[in-house]
Amino acid sequence: MFAVTELNQRDKKVQGLCRILFMIMTGLLILPVVLILATLIYKGGSIISADFLFSEPTDGMTAGGIFPALYGTIWLVAVALLISVPLGVAAAVYLSEYAGDNWFTRVINLAIINLAGVPSIVHALFGVGAFVLFFGLGTSILAASLTLAIMTLPVVIVATRESLQAVPHAFREACWNMGATRWQTIRRVVLPNAVSGILTGVILEVSRTTGETAPIMFTGAAFFLPFLPESVFDQTMALSLHLYVVATQVPGVPDELPYGVALVLIAIVLIMNSLSIAFRMWLRGRKKW
Amino acid sequence: MVAGQKKVVASAPVVAVGTAGSVKLEVKDLAIAYGHQTILSGVTLSVREHEIFGIIGPANAGKTSFIKALNRMDMFTSSMRVDGKILFNGRDIHSLRNVYALRSRIGVVFPLPVGLPLSVYDNVALAPRLAGIKSKEELNVIVERCLTRAALWDEVKDRLDSLGSLLSGGQQQRLTIARALSQDPELLMLDEFSIAVDPVTTMRIEDVLKELKQEVTIILVTNLVQQARRLADRTAFFLEGRCVEVGVTEDLFTGEVQDTRTRDYVEGRFG
Amino acid sequence: MADNPVIAAVERPQAALPEEVDFDRRDPDWFIDKAVQILVFIGGISAIIFIIGIFVFISKEGAGFLFGELDIVEFFTSPRWRPTSEHNPTYGILALIAGTASVTGLAMIVAIPFSLGAAIFIAEFATGKTREFLKVLVELLAAIPSVVWGFIGLSIMNPLIIEIFDVPVGLNVLNAGVILGLMAAPIMTSIAEDALNAVPDRYREAAEAMGATRWQVTIRAVLPAAKNGLLGAVLLGVGRGFGETMAVLMATGHSINLPSSVFDSVRALTATIAAELGETAVGSDHYMALFTIGIFLFIITFIINLTADLIVRGVRKG
């Protein structure tokens, strides 16, 4: 009896130690990132101003703002979304509402997993080979956005499929019983209840697309351009590439400039991500059935 | 979608096609299997115009699958196989080119209530809208009539905008019934509708069913033999994937049975 | 009562016979349904088309080299990558493979213990708000773009390494490995956490019923049951490390080297493509050689992803 208690106490101690050990490991995973973020804010915060965001780079990119890069990123992301959202939603609707549980569906799923796993630089090579050269789009926003769209397609598909599958099957059967076709059921009952979940995925995709650099390097983004893009067939600057350029390619850049660019980039990405997460939590809390 | 194509639901209740006594639905040697597991076989019966046809039997007798087969829901369940013939108005339902039109003429209520995550109003207006009715006035009339018949109108008339899926279980079941009625069906199939409803409401709905009989043909699957006795003109007894017996309801209860198992079930010896 | 049109309608016993419904007439809705079915099917197979497309197009661009100039043995065994040499260009990617492998290897050494530890903490020990908060944090960490990580390696880690270890250059295997480890850890954490969550509670309950503590439950019941999922997480981390481009481009020092210590600068496969593609003429040997590296990367990551998927799926089935 006594021995058992002793053993229990030892177990409790081990238990407590493990808890602390794992907590430390979790902390160590997070701490560097917090420090890094703090450094970015500390070193780059001073340069951030309306002027920085809305003016052009000057003096061979060693001074001035980041407006053309910001503007170009918006173009790239918008066009990529226009391509990938309809395609991704269609794919998810197929997988969730039409596809049977068979080898073909497994092949599609495998393709999606691999699409997400192919290195970004390989996507860039594909963009060059397919869009820039083969389809003759040249280095343009369209070519770069197509490359980005294909690369981030899995994000939309996965998010959409999840939110479609969260709609209980009984709702579909109830509709079918009334003589609704599959599409009528999807349009009137399934999609309206999944649309906020899809939006969560789209916001996540915006964040992903904004940060991507390698896929646009050779397909449509330029180091420096003296003009803003006017159509999807123009080249453009982009925020992510701009960070690479000012950090590695331009001599004599003042210290705070790349920090400022990094800060803006990471702020956009993290704000978008937080939005998506907050939105998802709000959805989870809202009871609809 | 031409409104006249499918029967216009708004034009007040109408007598369905055919005359009383003629055969509405004929089932010949029906067998249903999921994968390799046969759950219903050898069912042959016919349902007449304007009768309430009861189906009784213990759980797992194949009653629900029977209902699903009549509505061609096997189309959406890849593992479900249906053999044999089902004739609706004399037409083999497996030979129809537009199965959705068939389903729009058959209303179904399943045991578990399903309020769609739409407003109460939209729940009931959904089927008429699918049938092409757009006029707000027509829809208003249909919604009120169907909810009234399903004994739900008084409870929800002030909150037609609230979500149908958030009503209580009993209310959702009545909403489901209202939705089935909104299709203005020729054939109404109810599968153990009273499971989710309180006894008082059950009685009210039973009264409505008796009235509805003049307009539609009703198949009533029930686990309450007394309910079948109260409502059904004729009744079939399903047991372990077989249709044991079909007869005039009263006969089953007075002992005029062909199979002793029917009497045993009706008298509550098993089930 | 008859004044109320609705009630009147309800009670009106009869009306005209309706038109017979035509069960054979296919209305517009029927055709729209079919059309949508075809459209979403196209969406569904687009992923397959793209993955095949990627392989076809990078193979097409690299084909001339792959089936022409390329000496496959030299390609994989020579550490000399000198594509721009005027007299005798050589295309050996051994040093690049070594660069990628050393950085990825170090990254895994950094990431595996921490991400598994964090996953265990989040899945087995943390509860309620703490757990939600940590999960969100991990998700946010996973979102930081690789070019930002590269910049961090370049401007924060670099001087740090020079100062701490007293070495001349801070852009090396150590730098890139740590950066890549920090990058991969959040993703591995969340996949590993999924794997732990997928272990049914009855395993834990069974162990707890025998008087085991949380820790013993984790060690004896949860980890063995989740081992395939955890292995999958590690593999996906490796795949990510292999394919990472911008961070290794900026943090490795980008010099061709067979590394002998973590303080050596190296160059990765991906980074080589990123750095050189812009300077090559379309169709030149150098250009095609870069695409050949792309084919190699594609195949390697394809195999890694496939294996990870099979392993993870295996555990789901069981």
The CATH number covering residue C105 comes to: 1.10.3720.10
CB contact under 8 A, C50 and A111: yes
Is the pLDDT confidence value at B271 over 80?
no
pLDDT of amino acid B6: 42
pLDDT of amino acid B255: 79
pLDDT of amino acid A101: 84
Q: Mean pLDDT in chain A?
A: 91
> What average pLDDT does this structure show over B146-171?
92
C75 falls within a domain: no
**pTM (predicted TM-score):** 0.88
Best mutation site among A102, A105, A172, A178 for testing chain B: the one with the most B CBs within 10 Å?
Answer: A178
In this complex, is the C-beta atom of B13 within 8 Å of any C-beta atom belonging to chain C?
yes
Best mutation site among B14, B19, B86, B126 for testing chain C: the one with the most C CBs within 10 Å?
Answer: B14
Q: Closest by alpha carbon to C262, among C110, C146, C144? A: C110
Percentage with pLDDT > 90 across chain C = 60
Structure confidence by residue, pLDDT tens digits, A118-162:
999 999 999 999 999 999 999 999 999 999 999 999 999 999 999
> What average pLDDT does this structure show over B200-229?
91
pLDDT of amino acid A61: 86
CATH 1.10.3720.10 fits A67-285, yes or no: yes
Report the alpha-carbon distance of residue C11 to residue C7 in Å, rounded.
6
The pair of three-digit structure tokens given for residue B225, joined into one six-digit string: 């033999």
pLDDT of amino acid C57: 96
Tell me C18's DSSP state.
P
Is the pLDDT confidence value at B243 over 80?
yes
- When computed from its CA atoms, the radius of gyration of chain A, rounded to whole angstroms, is 24
* Residue range(s) defining the domain that contains residue C171: 95-269
Is the pLDDT confidence value at A9 over 90?
no
- Domain limits of chain A? 67-285
C41 falls within a domain: no
Q: Which residues pair with C82 in a beta bridge?
A: C90
pLDDT of amino acid C294: 96
User: Which CA distances in Å does B6 have to B10, B105, C21, C269?
Assistant: 11, 9, 6, 65
Closest to A114 (Cβ–Cβ): which among C51, C140, C182?
C51
Number of domains in chain C: 1
Q: Mean pLDDT in chain B?
A: 87
Residue C203 CB partners (closer than 8 Å, separation 6+): C221, C222, C225
CB contact under 8 A, B104 and A176: no
pLDDT of amino acid C20: 58
pLDDT of amino acid C72: 86
Residue of C nearest to A40 (CA): C152
For the ranges A232-241, A269-278, B8-17, C88-97, the lowest mean pLDDT is seen at B8-17
pLDDT of amino acid C84: 86
Tell me C257's DSSP state.
-
Distance from CA of A27 to the nearest CA of C (A): 8
In this complex, is the C-beta atom of C29 within 8 Å of any C-beta atom belonging to chain B?
yes
Structure confidence by residue, pLDDT tens digits, A189-210:
999 999 988 999 999 999 999 9
CB contact under 8 A, C20 and B17: yes
Question: Could you give the ipTM of this predicted complex?
Answer: 0.90
In this complex, is the C-beta atom of A124 within 8 Å of any C-beta atom belonging to chain C?
yes
In this complex, is the C-beta atom of B122 within 8 Å of any C-beta atom belonging to chain C?
no
C288 falls within a domain: no
CB contact under 8 A, C15 and B148: no
Taking contacts as CB-CB distances below 8 angstroms, the residues of chain C near A29 are 114-115, 117-118, 138, 141, 182, 185-186, 189
Is the pLDDT confidence value at A58 over 70?
yes
- Confidence band, pLDDT 50/70/90 cuts, at residue C21: low
Helix axes B120-130, B136-149, angle to 10 degrees: 120
Cα angle A201, A176, B17 (rounded to 5 degrees) comes to: 155
| SS3 state of residue C115 | helix
- With residues binned 3-state (H G I as helix, E B as strand, rest as coil), the percentages for chain A, rounded to 5, are 75, 0, 20
> What average pLDDT does this structure show over C174-197?
93
Closest to A211 (Cβ–Cβ): which among C134, C145, C244?
C145
The pair of three-digit structure tokens given for residue C2, joined into one six-digit string: 């008859």
Closest to C6 (Cβ–Cβ): which among B91, B130, B144?
B144
Q: What is the CATH number of domain B23-116+186-266?
A: 3.40.50.300
In this complex, is the C-beta atom of B78 within 8 Å of any C-beta atom belonging to chain A?
yes
pLDDT of amino acid A33: 83
Interface of C with A in 275-314 (CB under 8 A): 277-278, 282, 290-291, 294, 297-298, 301-302, 304-306, 309
Structure confidence by residue, pLDDT tens digits, B124-140:
999 999 988 999 999 99
Closest to A211 (Cβ–Cβ): which among C30, C54, C147?
C147
pLDDT of amino acid C18: 45
pLDDT of amino acid B17: 45
Distance from CA of A231 to the nearest CA of C (A): 23
In this complex, is the C-beta atom of A287 within 8 Å of any C-beta atom belonging to chain B?
yes
Alpha helices in B19-80 (DSSP H): 63-70
Report the alpha-carbon distance of residue B43 to residue B24 in Å, rounded.
16
Taking contacts as CB-CB distances below 8 angstroms, the residues of chain C near A18 are 125, 214-215, 218
Report the alpha-carbon distance of residue B71 to residue B107 in Å, rounded.
9
CB contact under 8 A, C145 and A210: yes
pLDDT of amino acid B15: 40
Best mutation site among A96, A172, A177 for testing chain B: the one with the most B CBs within 10 Å?
Answer: A177
DSSP A20-31: HHHHHHHHHHHH
Structure confidence by residue, pLDDT tens digits, B167-195:
998 899 999 999 999 999 999 999 998 88
Taking contacts as CB-CB distances below 8 angstroms, the residues of chain A near C274 are 121, 124, 214, 217
Best mutation site among B116, B119, B163, B187 for testing chain A: the one with the most A CBs within 10 Å?
Answer: B116
